[in-house]
């Protein structure tokens, strides 16, 4: 396979398939995919195909069989579903990457068991780039794939996170384990054992990190179990929304001066909103499987889909996965 | 004991003992303690006693033996420490409440083993009031006391959280368990079992709640293990600081218009800062022990100490603890 081929799930996500098609157009118009071929997996209508005919797009048949009620393991029987087909084509090396905004559990299961795990990796995990001080991103692994983990899995998470960090241009990424204190004796047995596992391996392991430091510049890769990671992620989201809403309502209930002030600050307030919206980073990698599997947010609009495609393309071009097995 | 007696740890916290003494003065000047007697536990200087002589203050001897390096279990041997003495006096019913900004681990251990657990409670826990939409607080339990828990402990956490919610005026508090999805089959075994435990008991249990809903008005009491709870709390803190800092630096680097706008919005921005600073709520209860044990934040200034005293006084007066055993 010489040409890069990026798969895109036509289905899944609150705004699909419109957002998928529009996202593809947005990606091509903005040259996000450069010389790559986009492969839309679904039952694309002739009308939509017409919209895309001037771009480098091909099609794979895949059915719309998965929704929010689909249980993770069910996907293994839905062999005609777009998610299954997408993952299968990564396994066959027919696709370098696959982007989907669909059911997370189903996608991760298909990633693990249809695309299959990379040799040497027991636990693929969701790796997410968060904004950080100085404009530098930091990577959170596992952001929600593995609700129950063992200490040894932190070594997988570390390699996955490091690969992602390197892909984002961070040399020799500093790795920390999220804990409720930075002292070695703090926290549950699991994280203490995980720290030992990392120390035994050739990793730039710095120590424990408290969640309040997530946005600071002391660590590049933050490791935790999928339960905690997902809670942290959703807490960031909930807090950011709460703060922006409080600000909005205080502007609304404020006097003319406040309203005028807000208007004058509009640019700053918008750029703030952009900075804390991690979704603009364009998707989360499910790392550790055969292929660059990108989970786009369920509420992705066309721009978010285009960003996810961009990330998938860049990861494929630079072969992010080759960094995992160190 | 007819009169309410509130103990205050002279030591502990970054700004002690100055913040402690000033906090006491602030509390009296603002009538936070009404008719209660304040009992300062420490080695109060004559100079400080003079500052407090016009208020209703008495003193208990206690030494400054605990710092950030003190391990939790060490406190049990430090019988002359202010923390030990404070907890011992709650056990003896000589104090209704004890407020400390000192070492959390030591304080919780002293609470559990020196003050002792309430009958019927296996796991005391940190219960914290977070701001929420519509100005209604919500309670997070456990915010960091128990890093490793069993499903049955969620029943203790629920009763502790409900008691706190009722104390804050919430009738029939709605209880949720924090999980990575709201569907019953989601999440680790522990939270599924915990849900069963709550269903078997006479509790207004609503279901799972995702961390992004923390500030919403669907639940009043949010239950989780101490590891996750502490991470959530610190994530809120980290996110809020990050957002405010980004806003600040975008104002700084903005043009004259932006700066002028910010000036005009100053009131709104300040009130925002207040709303997201959970520390203004004046401390966290360690509930489930004999006495109203309030942990003030380590970085408490005099106003935060005064708020913690106010909360301790009100809880004592209304006998918050009597609500725990339902």
Q: Which of A230, A257, A276 sits opposite B180 (nearest CB)?
A: A230
Chain B CB contacts of A147 under 8 Å are 180, 187-188
Residue A174 falls within a domain, yes or no?
yes
What is the distance between the alpha carbons of residues B306 and B174, in angstroms, rounded to a whole number? 30
Chain A CB contacts of B188 under 8 Å are 147-148, 227
Q: Which of B228, B230, B272 sits opposite A243 (nearest CB)?
A: B272
Q: Which two tokens stand for residue A300?
A: 């992705």
What's residue B280's pLDDT?
A: 55
Residues A196 and A89 occupy one common structural domain = no
Residues A216 and A303 occupy one common structural domain = no
Q: Does an H or E element contain A288, and which? A: none
pLDDT bin (cut points 50, 70, 90) of residue B13 is confident
Among A238, A241, A270, which would you mutate to test the B interface (most chain B Cβ atoms within 10 Å of its Cβ)? A238
End-to-end CA distance of chain A: 24
B241–A212 C-beta distance less than 8 A = yes
**HSE, side-chain direction, 13 A CA sphere, residue A321:** 24
- Find all residues with CB under 8 Å of B108, minimum gap 6, and list them: B72, B124, B126, B145, B286, B295
Q: Which two tokens stand for residue B53?
A: 């002589």
Give the pLDDT mean for A260-269.
74
A267–B265 C-beta distance less than 8 A = no
**HSE, side-chain direction, 13 A CA sphere, residue B305:** 33
What is the distance between the alpha carbons of residues B317 and B206, in angstroms, rounded to a whole number? 30
> What DSSP string describes B262-326?
HHHTHHHHHHHHHHH-GGGG--EEEETBSSEEEE--TT--HHHHHHHHHHHHHHHHTTGGGGT--
Give the pLDDT mean for A282-286.
82
Residues B149 and B265 occupy one common structural domain = yes
B188–A231 C-beta distance less than 8 A = no
Q: What ipTM, to 2 d.p.?
A: 0.90
Q: Which of B133, B147, B214 sits opposite A180 (nearest CB)?
A: B147
Residues A134 and A269 occupy one common structural domain = yes
Chain A CB contacts of B271 under 8 Å are 250
| Domain extent for B165 | 123-280
What is the distance between the alpha carbons of residues A6 and A3, in angstroms, rounded to a whole number? 10
Q: How many domains does one find in chain B?
A: 2
- In this structure, are residues A133 and A216 in contact, taking their beta carbons and an 8 Å threshold? yes
In the A/B pair of chains, how many CB contacts fall below 8 A? Answer: 179
What is the distance between the alpha carbons of residues B103 and A186, in angstroms, rounded to a whole number? 13
Minimal Cα–Cα distance from B101 to chain A, Å? Answer: 17
Residue A283 falls within a domain, yes or no?
no
Q: Which two tokens stand for residue B15?
A: 């700004």
Residues B114 and B240 occupy one common structural domain = no
Residue A196 falls within a domain, yes or no?
yes
Going by C-alpha positions, the residue among A140, A316, A321 that lies closest to residue A227 is A140
Q: pLDDT (tens digit, 9 = 90+) per residue, B209-236?
A: 999 999 999 999 999 999 999 999 999 9
Residues B222 and B295 occupy one common structural domain = no
pLDDT bin (cut points 50, 70, 90) of residue B281 is low
Residues B223 and B304 occupy one common structural domain = no
pLDDT bin (cut points 50, 70, 90) of residue A299 is confident
Minimal Cα–Cα distance from B230 to chain A, Å? Answer: 6
Return phi, psi of residue B56, to 5°.
-85, 80
What's residue A282's pLDDT?
A: 56
Q: pLDDT (tens digit, 9 = 90+) per residue, A208-244?
A: 999 999 999 999 999 999 999 999 999 999 998 888 8
- Range scoring the smallest mean pLDDT among A274-278, B38-42, B51-55: A274-278
Cα–Cα distances (Å) from A223 to A75, A108, A301, A324, B202, in that order, read 28, 19, 29, 15, 38
Residue A148 falls within a domain, yes or no?
yes
CATH of the domain at A312: 3.40.718.10
Return phi, psi of residue B34, to 5°.
40, -115
Among B192, B243, B258, which would you mutate to test the A interface (most chain A Cβ atoms within 10 Å of its Cβ)? B243
Minimal Cα–Cα distance from A179 to chain B, Å? Answer: 7
Chain B, nearest residue to A185 by Cα: B71
Residues B129 and B183 occupy one common structural domain = yes
Minimal Cα–Cα distance from A248 to chain B, Å? Answer: 9
Q: pLDDT (tens digit, 9 = 90+) per residue, B230-253?
A: 999 999 999 988 888 888 887 777
Residues B151 and B162 occupy one common structural domain = yes
Residues B101 and B144 occupy one common structural domain = no
What is the distance between the alpha carbons of residues A286 and A138, in angstroms, rounded to a whole number? 16
Residues B91 and B156 occupy one common structural domain = no
Q: Which of A227, A254, A271 sits opposite B268 (nearest CB)?
A: A254
A268–B211 C-beta distance less than 8 A = no
Return phi, psi of residue B14, to 5°.
-70, -25
B240–A243 C-beta distance less than 8 A = yes
Minimal Cα–Cα distance from A157 to chain B, Å? Answer: 18
Chain A CB contacts of B272 under 8 Å are 243, 246-247, 250
A81 pLDDT exceeds 90? yes
Give the pLDDT mean for B72-88.
97
Residue A188 falls within a domain, yes or no?
yes
Residues B133 and B15 occupy one common structural domain = no
A271–B250 C-beta distance less than 8 A = yes
């Amino acid at each position: 396979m010489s040409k890069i081929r990026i798969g895109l799930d036509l289905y899944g996500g609150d705004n699909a398939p419109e957002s998928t098609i529009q996202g593809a157009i947005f990606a091509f118009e903005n040259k996000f995919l450069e010389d790559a071929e986009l492969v839309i997996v679904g039952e694309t209508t002739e009308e939509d195909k017409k919209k895309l005919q001037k771009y480098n797009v091909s099609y794979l048949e895949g059915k719309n069989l998965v929704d929010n009620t689909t249980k993770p393991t069910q996907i293994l029987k839905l062999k005609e579903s777009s998610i299954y087909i997408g993952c299968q084509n990564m396994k066959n090396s027919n696709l370098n990457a696959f982007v989907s905004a669909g059911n997370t559990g189903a996608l991760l299961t298909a990633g693990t068991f249809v695309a299959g795990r990379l040799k040497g990796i027991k636990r693929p995990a969701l790796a997410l780039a968060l904004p950080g001080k100085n404009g530098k991103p930091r990577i959170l692994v596992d952001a929600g794939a593995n609700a129950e983990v063992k200490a040894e899995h932190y070594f997988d998470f570390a390699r996955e996170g490091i690969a992602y960090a390197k892909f984002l241009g961070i040399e020799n990424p500093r790795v920390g384990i999220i804990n409720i204190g930075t002292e070695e004796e703090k926290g549950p047995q699991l994280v203490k054992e995980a720290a030992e596992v990392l120390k035994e391996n050739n990793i730039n392991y710095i120590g424990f990190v408290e969640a309040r430091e997530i946005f600071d510049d002391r660590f590049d890769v933050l490791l935790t179990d999928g339960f905690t990671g997902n809670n942290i992620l959703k807490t960031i989201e909930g807090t950011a929304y709460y703060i922006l809403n409080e600000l909005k309502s205080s502007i609304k209930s404020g006097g003319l001066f406040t309203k005028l002030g807000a208007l004058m600050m509009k640019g700053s307030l918008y750029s703030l909103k952009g900075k804390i919206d991690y979704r603009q980073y364009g998707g989360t990698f499910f790392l550790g499987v055969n292929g660059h599997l990108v989970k786009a947010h369920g509420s992705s609009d066309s721009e978010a889909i285009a960003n996810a495609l961009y990330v998938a393309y860049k990861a494929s071009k630079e072969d992010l996965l080759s960094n995992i097995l160190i």
